[in-house]
Amino acid sequence: MTRPISRPLDAIALGAIRFYGRYLSPHKGFRCAHAALHGGDSCSAAVARIIREDGLIGGRRRVATRFASCRQAHNALREGSPLAFGTSGPQVRGVCCCGPLPIPFRCG
């Protein structure tokens, strides 16, 4: 269930994600490693959803889990894993979410 955004920290985090999605992401030329490997939402969209549902503080474990999953996706793409269906193996580019900020990477 989505809760209303009433906490200032949640609003700031969601505003930062919207800014990133509107002004920075379109110019970087690659996408989230998790989305590249598994399809579905990028980490930005997934984290925004978590914040809307649980708040930034309440959802911190879910956010950390998503970043860890993105790191695993990055590793699979970098190694040209057979799990990387629909990718070009080690030539895939994306973002490794190994902390609170996405870090761009290029494999290959």
Whole-model pTM?
A: 0.69
CA-angle at 94, arms to 93 and 98, nearest 5°: 135
Residue percentage of the chain with pLDDT more than 90? 46
Give the residue from 68, 70, 64, 60 showing the smallest Cα distance to 30: 70
Tens of pLDDT, residues 75-106: 888 887 555 444 444 444 555 554 445 555 44
User: What would the mean pLDDT of 51-78 be, rounded to a whole number?
Assistant: 93
Q: How many residues does the chain have?
A: 108
Domain boundaries, the chain: 8-106
What's the rounded Cα separation, in Å, for the pair 6 and 66?
24
Tens of pLDDT, residues 11-53: 999 999 999 989 988 887 777 899 989 989 999 999 999 999 9
Q: What share of the chain is helix, strand, coil (3-state, %, to 5)?
A: 55, 10, 35
Query: What is the residue type of 103?
Result: I
